[in-house]
């Protein structure tokens, strides 16, 4: 039986949906504006004529971007760093989080204190660079995946998730059946922890894909540059007339080309993450909410 809504309930629904629609428009419009600006005439964009629909359709910006072979090298490197870095991040984070969630771990409070301590105090850029240099990782792929292999915040979220999701009785039952700790973790804990695994994967992929500063500090070889550095180099080169990749008739034409490329660069850099997120979104929301219930 369907209950008839009262007038107050109907007005509440109208106002609620209107408010949520407004929030959605506010959040989505900047991305939409960048998309239509990337395929519009830059003169129309600079003149403030592009608001709702593209004006003067052109793919010139994307053509100029993908003409550079470095784009494909940067994509390859970023995909590799994201895949390798995510595998390392998730493996270490899940292992540390699960171990710290076990009440029978000797000294777990001390370990937890040392991990939390790093959230308040760090060595700084210069000591970190010297350490990476002494380890021989400067100008190598390892400088992009090892220094930030584990995050204290992610370990705390993971530990909290395990504490609130995996009951002690389940572990006791597994031990009675002769299940080892390793088998319990891989056969029981991980299949029950897909939400937090998806959260850690998403955090790590986005972090590595958007990584810019580490590559700027540690890499010198252009063949190792991730996509973010490559896109930066393309924009800088195109803003310097003496070193332009293309032939411009005058300064106005050069600025026009640079303007149309800027929006295309944003889309090129954001597209993989935008494609990945919908597949992990349902796990992402669930994992974050469960991991925030208990501390």
Q: What is the CA radius of gyration of the chain?
A: 25
pLDDT at 285 over 70: no
What pLDDT, on a 0 to 100 scale, did the predictor assign at position 264? 83
pLDDT at 35 over 80: yes
pLDDT at 275 over 70: yes
What is the C-alpha to C-alpha distance for residues 229 and 214, in angstroms, rounded to an integer? 10
Q: Kindly state the average pLDDT of the residues 143-162.
A: 90
Q: What are the sequence ranges of the domains in the chain?
A: 1-58, 60-291
What pLDDT, on a 0 to 100 scale, did the predictor assign at position 139? 92
Least confident of 29-38, 165-174, 194-203, 226-235: 226-235
What pLDDT, on a 0 to 100 scale, did the predictor assign at position 242? 44
Q: Kindly state the average pLDDT of the residues 271-285.
A: 73
Segment 202-247, tens digit of pLDDT = 889 888 988 888 999 999 888 899 988 887 877 776 655 444 444 4
CATH architecture assigned to 60-291: Orthogonal Bundle (1.10)
Q: Kindly state the average pLDDT of the residues 74-82.
A: 91
pLDDT at 116 over 80: yes
DSSP the chain: -PPPPPHHHHHHHHHHHHHHHHHHHHHHHHHHHHHHHHTS-HHHHHTT--SSS-SS---HHHHHHHTSHHHHHHHHHHHHHHHHHHHHHHHHHHHHHHHHH-TT-TTHHHHHHHHHHHHH----HHHHHHHHHHTT-TTSGGGGTSTTS--HHHHHHHHHHHHHHS-HHHHHHHHHTT--HHHHIIIIITGGGHHHHHHHHHHHHHHHHT--HHHHHH---GGG--HHHHHHHHHHHHT-GGG-SS--SSHHHHHHHHHHHHHHHHHHHHHHHHHHHHHHHHHHHHHHHHHTS--
What pLDDT, on a 0 to 100 scale, did the predictor assign at position 248? 46
Segment 49-58, tens digit of pLDDT = 888 888 888 8
What pLDDT, on a 0 to 100 scale, did the predictor assign at position 16? 92
Query: What is the phi/psi pair of residue 190, to 5°?
Result: -60, -45
What's the predicted TM-score (pTM) here? 0.78
State the pLDDT confidence band at 164, using cuts at 50, 70 and 90.
confident
State the pLDDT confidence band at 295, using cuts at 50, 70 and 90.
very low
């Amino acid at each position: 039986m369907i209950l008839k809504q009262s007038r107050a309930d109907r007005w509440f629904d109208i106002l609620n949906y209107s408010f949520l629609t407004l929030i959605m428009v506010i959040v989505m419009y900047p991305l939409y504006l960048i998309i239509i600006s990337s395929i519009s005439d830059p003169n129309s964009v600079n003149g403030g004529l592009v608001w709702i629909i593209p004006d003067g359709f052109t793919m010139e910006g994307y053509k100029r971007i993908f003409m550079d072979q470095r784009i494909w090298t940067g994509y390859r490197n970023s995909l590799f760093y994201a895949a390798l870095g995510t595998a390392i991040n998730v493996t270490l984070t899940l292992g540390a989080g699960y171990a710290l969630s076990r009440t029978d771990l000797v000294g777990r409070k001390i370990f937890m204190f040392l991990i939390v301590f790093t959230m308040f105090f760090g060595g700084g850029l210069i000591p970190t660079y010297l350490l990476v240099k002494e380890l021989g990782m400067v100008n190598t792929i390892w400088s992009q995946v090892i220094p930030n292999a584990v995050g204290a915040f992610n370990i705390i979220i993971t530990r909290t998730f395990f504490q609130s999701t995996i009951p002690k009785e389940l572990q006791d039952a597994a031990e009675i059946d002769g299940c080892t700790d390793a088998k319990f973790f891989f056969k029981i804990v991980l299949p029950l922890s897909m939400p937090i695994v998806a959260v850690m994967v998403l955090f790590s992929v986005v972090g590595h894909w958007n990584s810019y500063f580490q590559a700027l500090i540690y890499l010198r070889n252009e063949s190792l540059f991730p996509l973010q550095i490559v896109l930066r180099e393309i924009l800088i080169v195109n803003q310097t007339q003496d070193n332009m990749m293309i032939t411009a008739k005058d300064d106005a034409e050069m600025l026009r080309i640079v303007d149309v490329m800027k929006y295309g660069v944003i889309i090129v850099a954001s597209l993989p993450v935008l494609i990945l997120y919908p597949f992990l979104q349902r796990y992402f929301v669930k994992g974050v909410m469960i991991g925030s219930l208990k501390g």
